[in-house]
Chains A and B, each alone.
Chain A
Amino acid sequence: MRLDKRGYVPYSGPRLSILKRDLTYLFLEVKNMLLKKRSIVVLVFILFLMSFPVITSLTIGEFMFAGMKQEEVNQAILSQYVEFSFVILFLGLLLSAITVAPRISEEVKGGPLPLILSRPITRDEYFLLKFSSSFLYMFTLICVPPLLSVLLFMGSLPPSVHFSALYVLSRVLAIYLIYAFFLTALGLFSSSLMGSPTSASLFTFFLPWITEFIGGILRATLDLPQKYTLISLISGTLLRSSSGFVENLKGSSLTLWHQALALAILLPVLMLFTAYTVVKERQEV
């Protein structure tokens, strides 16, 4: 009956080791993420690039801080950090909502998850691959603009301060590393809990703003100081993670700095653990 009849040919070629298989699949996943929402990703990336002036301000600020004492910090630059954090927060959340949030939910309901898990792959490996590919993707997209910015800026500096510039660059990258970690964790957290990709995207984008709003009300009701308090960190500023972290990094005491850092890492870890547990225990794939 078939027009182009060709018999079944068995496969007798080589097989990959588990590590090589996982790395190859990781590469494919990242490539898929970039290709799948290509136009939206490009748009968000351009928006990131448009934030260059703000990023440059940040970089200048970092250079200044590198050689200045705490009391000499220019309050005007500090306020620029806050503006900057909101721009980056908005774009970062948008990126996470569009690209990371649908990643698990779209594979669960009517998606290929049953097919994937019927292969020689554990649920742990599946989750690890999802996390690694999402994190790599987010980190790359978030870090390229500031990296370019700093490197361009370095060109105009005398060689004597290049070391300081590298120090600043490492700080900026560390902050963005945490930010990418947070965005990935938030996206996968929503994705594992929500049945539909659209719900997961909306949840990812709006959750930090809602908690920020609730945090604002709580602060006002309890008559707490606006900034640099633990409740501020927990309610909203923390959910902004690294952007809040940048903000708090500059003006707060050492104790609060540590609290901010610890919470900015702990919260994403908790979100990832929840997502992992949901994926691991989900019966009906």
Chain B
Amino acid sequence: MTMPEPAEEADGAPEGGPREILSAVNLWKSYGEVEALRGLTFTFKGGVMGLLGPNGAGKSTFIKIALGLLKADEGSVKILGRDVSDFNRDVKGQVGYMPEGECLPEALTGLQFVYHMGVLSGLPPKEAFQRAHAVMEFVGMGEQRYRKISSYSLGLKQRIKLAQAIVHDPILLFLDEPTSGLDPFGREEMLSLIEELKSAGKSIVLSTHILRDVERVAEEVVVLNRGVKLIQKSMKEVMKSGGWVEVTVVGGTREFVEMLKKMGIECEVTGSKIRMEPPKEGGLFRLMEVAEEAGVVVRSVRGGIKDLTDLFSELMEEGGGTG
């Protein structure tokens, strides 16, 4: 039996239509009294998925279950159509993992470590050596690769973690807080690398609590809180669903707000400023018509789209979940 080829199709992959790269069904996991995951269910069909949530939301627990490092109390995770609770060499060979915390052997050089991980993933020694050099070039490590890991800065450690995760050319990558602790320059570089991997056709699960990172690279977002899925939406949907408008008016504010409420638009009034979602039909033109009908003079209009920060705050306030 040989180690799996990255391009091989797993037997359990569904035929026709987009293939499910990753799916979780009714996943439960608790550590003693603490419930880390409570019936988590979602599917991921490829691209880049942001796994968002505050600390303790269950993101890392989910990833560890998906990698077979932890056992779920209930439910299942499938990667490429195969249940991860049954050890599967084919599936494991197609997964790369970049963990959040300390995980590097400090006595080795960066190159040695990536080479070892390549061999462990089934690459022949000569190819593993060449491949280690190639991925270290990719992550932008020059001469530093020959230094011991103990001498690395946080930025270099993040790069070496990414290099070992891709040395065997996996299909699916789990990146756990890849930009955590990086300075703006390092963060930008890391996000560029993730974008390049996305362009190379890798499916990436990006677990983070940094919303801007998800906005930048993800096509889909799953928000977790206390082990429960709050939403799963494409980024397009997220951006569409949350526009806002703020109008500054003179005179007849009360009538204007009443009319808007009758139209089903919730308003937030601060003096002469009224902030609201734009009308679903007619948009700004309809808003101007209503203002005219209410007899108010519109002094200024400004607006924008709701970003993930707003969405996240709203969801956290609601605190519920769909599981």
Q: Are B196 and A16 in touch, CB under 8 angstroms?
A: no
In the bound assembly, the distance between CA atoms of A1 and B194 in angstroms comes to: 13
Q: Are A1 and B189 in touch, CB under 8 angstroms?
A: yes
Q: A16-B123, A21-B3 are in contact. Are A2 and B189 (CB under 8 A)?
A: yes
In the bound assembly, the distance between CA atoms of A110 and B157 in angstroms comes to: 13
Interface residues of A in 116-142 (CB under 8 A from B): 116-122
Q: A15-B2, A120-B4 are in contact. Are A114 and B137 (CB under 8 A)?
A: no
Q: Are B105 and A112 in touch, CB under 8 angstroms?
A: yes
Partner of A9, one of B5, B108, B124, B138: B138
Q: Are A7 and B196 in touch, CB under 8 angstroms?
A: yes
Q: Are A117 and B68 in touch, CB under 8 angstroms?
A: yes
Q: Are B120 and A18 in touch, CB under 8 angstroms?
A: no
Closest residue of chain A to B201 (Cβ to Cβ) is A10
Is residue B107 within 8 Å, beta carbon to beta carbon, of the partner chain? yes
How close is B320's CB to chain A, nearest CB, in angstroms? 29
Residue of B5, B119, B137, B199 with highest tally of chain A CB at under 10 A: B119
CB contacts (< 8 Å) of B117 on chain A: these are: 115, 119
Of the candidate stretches A24-32, A145-153, A161-169, A179-187, the one touching chain B is A24-32
Is residue A225 within 8 Å, beta carbon to beta carbon, of the partner chain? no
In the bound assembly, the distance between CA atoms of A122 and B86 in angstroms comes to: 11
Q: Are A24 and B121 in touch, CB under 8 angstroms?
A: no
CB contacts (< 8 Å) of B92 on chain A: these are: 118-121
Q: Are A36 and B119 in touch, CB under 8 angstroms?
A: no
CB contacts (< 8 Å) of A107 on chain B: these are: 105
Interface residues of A in 1-21 (CB under 8 A from B): 1-18, 20-21
Q: Are A2 and B64 in touch, CB under 8 angstroms?
A: no
Is residue A111 within 8 Å, beta carbon to beta carbon, of the partner chain? yes
CB contacts (< 8 Å) of B140 on chain A: these are: 2-5
In the bound assembly, the distance between CA atoms of A175 and B105 in angstroms comes to: 35
Of the candidate stretches B46-54, B95-103, B206-214, the one touching chain A is B95-103
Is residue B241 within 8 Å, beta carbon to beta carbon, of the partner chain? no
Closest residue of chain B to A124 (Cβ to Cβ) is B87
Partner of A120, one of B89, B113, B164: B89
Q: Are B137 and A14 in touch, CB under 8 angstroms?
A: no
Is residue B6 within 8 Å, beta carbon to beta carbon, of the partner chain? yes
Q: Are A36 and B5 in touch, CB under 8 angstroms?
A: no
How close is B279's CB to chain A, nearest CB, in angstroms? 41
Is residue B134 within 8 Å, beta carbon to beta carbon, of the partner chain? yes
Partner of A118, one of B97, B116, B127: B97
Q: A16-B3, A25-B120 are in contact. Are A11 and B131 (CB under 8 A)?
A: yes
How close is A280's CB to chain B, nearest CB, in angstroms? 12
- Interface band, chain A: 35 or more
Q: Are A112 and B123 in touch, CB under 8 angstroms?
A: no
CB contacts (< 8 Å) of B199 on chain A: these are: 8
How close is A189's CB to chain B, nearest CB, in angstroms? 22
Q: Are A283 and B71 in touch, CB under 8 angstroms?
A: yes
Is residue B104 within 8 Å, beta carbon to beta carbon, of the partner chain? yes
Interface residues of B in 28-81 (CB under 8 A from A): 64, 67-71
CB contacts (< 8 Å) of B192 on chain A: these are: 1-2
CB contacts (< 8 Å) of A113 on chain B: these are: 103
CB contacts (< 8 Å) of A16 on chain B: these are: 2-3, 119, 122-124
Closest residue of chain B to A121 (Cβ to Cβ) is B120
CB contacts (< 8 Å) of A4 on chain B: these are: 137, 140, 142
Is residue B168 within 8 Å, beta carbon to beta carbon, of the partner chain? yes
Is residue A223 within 8 Å, beta carbon to beta carbon, of the partner chain? no
Is residue A230 within 8 Å, beta carbon to beta carbon, of the partner chain? no
- 0 or 1 for each of B128-142: is its CB under 8 Å from A? (1 = yes): 000100100110101
Residue of B92, B117, B122 with highest tally of chain A CB at under 10 A: B122
CB contacts (< 8 Å) of A112 on chain B: these are: 103-105, 113
Interface residues of A in 69-116 (CB under 8 A from B): 106-107, 110-116
In the bound assembly, the distance between CA atoms of A17 and B4 in angstroms comes to: 9
- 0 or 1 for each of A193-234: is its CB under 8 Å from B? (1 = yes): 000000000000000000000000000000000000000000
In the bound assembly, the distance between CA atoms of A24 and B116 in angstroms comes to: 10
Q: Are B138 and A8 in touch, CB under 8 angstroms?
A: yes
CB contacts (< 8 Å) of B103 on chain A: these are: 110-115
Is residue A285 within 8 Å, beta carbon to beta carbon, of the partner chain? yes
In the bound assembly, the distance between CA atoms of A107 and B108 in angstroms comes to: 13
Q: Are B185 and A1 in touch, CB under 8 angstroms?
A: yes
In the bound assembly, the distance between CA atoms of A110 and B150 in angstroms comes to: 13
In the bound assembly, the distance between CA atoms of A5 and B142 in angstroms comes to: 11
CB contacts (< 8 Å) of B116 on chain A: these are: 25, 28
CB contacts (< 8 Å) of A283 on chain B: these are: 70-71
Residue of A1, A15, A28, A110 with highest tally of chain B CB at under 10 A: A15
Q: Are A36 and B200 in touch, CB under 8 angstroms?
A: no
Closest residue of chain A to B121 (Cβ to Cβ) is A119
CB contacts (< 8 Å) of B239 on chain A: these are: none
Residue of A36, A107, A118, A285 with highest tally of chain B CB at under 10 A: A118
5 closest Cβ contacts across the A-B interface? A11-B169, A110-B102, A15-B3, A120-B92, A118-B97
A–B Cβ pairs within 8 angstroms, 9 of them: A1-B188, A4-B140, A8-B197, A15-B2, A17-B1, A25-B120, A112-B103, A118-B96, A120-B121
Interface residues of B (CB under 8 A from A): 1-7, 64, 67-71, 87, 89-90, 92-93, 95-97, 99, 101-105, 107-108, 113, 116-117, 119-125, 127, 131, 134, 137-138, 140, 142, 164, 166, 168-169, 185, 188-189, 192, 196-197, 199-200
Interface residues of A (CB under 8 A from B): 1-18, 20-21, 24-25, 28, 32, 36, 106-107, 110-122, 283-285
